[in-house]
Amino acid sequence: MRQHSVMSKGNNQFNFMIQKTEDVTWIPPVNEEGTTKPALGWLQIGGKIWQIINWHSFDDLGATIETLTIERGNHVKGGPVHREQKEIYSFDEGETFTFDIE
């Protein structure tokens, strides 16, 4: 996990905050057509593999935010489904990721 400063301007004042970035590796889908599952690929976070189930991009006035919904867990045949789901964000088009959003 790394930290970096983010500067925002509001009410003609500059505000600084520390944002934690996670050590994340994007693993692309198996084929380029996106016909394999998952079509969006995976993220490796802290040694664990998370499946990307949704990737939403928002761009407004030069600011971009990527919101990824990720999940991991196991399904045992005949047993309960244990899936954990989270959202992770990127403010630089997927170069770095954070769980923090402010």
Q: What is the per-residue pLDDT across 42-56, written as a single tens digit (0 to 9) for each?
A: 999 988 999 999 999
Q: Return the domain boundaries, the chain.
A: 21-102
**Separation between Cα atoms, residue 41 and residue 35, nearest integer Å:** 11
Q: Is 74 in a helix, a strand, or coil?
A: strand
Against a cut of 0.85, is the pTM above it?
Answer: no
**80-84-90 Cα angle (round to 5):** 160
Q: Is 10 in a helix, a strand, or coil?
A: strand
**Separation between Cα atoms, residue 41 and residue 39, nearest integer Å:** 6
Q: What is the per-residue pLDDT across 61-79, written as a single tens digit (0 to 9) for each?
A: 888 889 999 999 876 666 6
> Residue 3 — pLDDT band, cuts 50, 70, 90?
very low
Q: Can you tell me the mean pLDDT for 4-12? A: 43
User: Is 68:58 a contact under the CB 8 Å cutoff?
Assistant: no
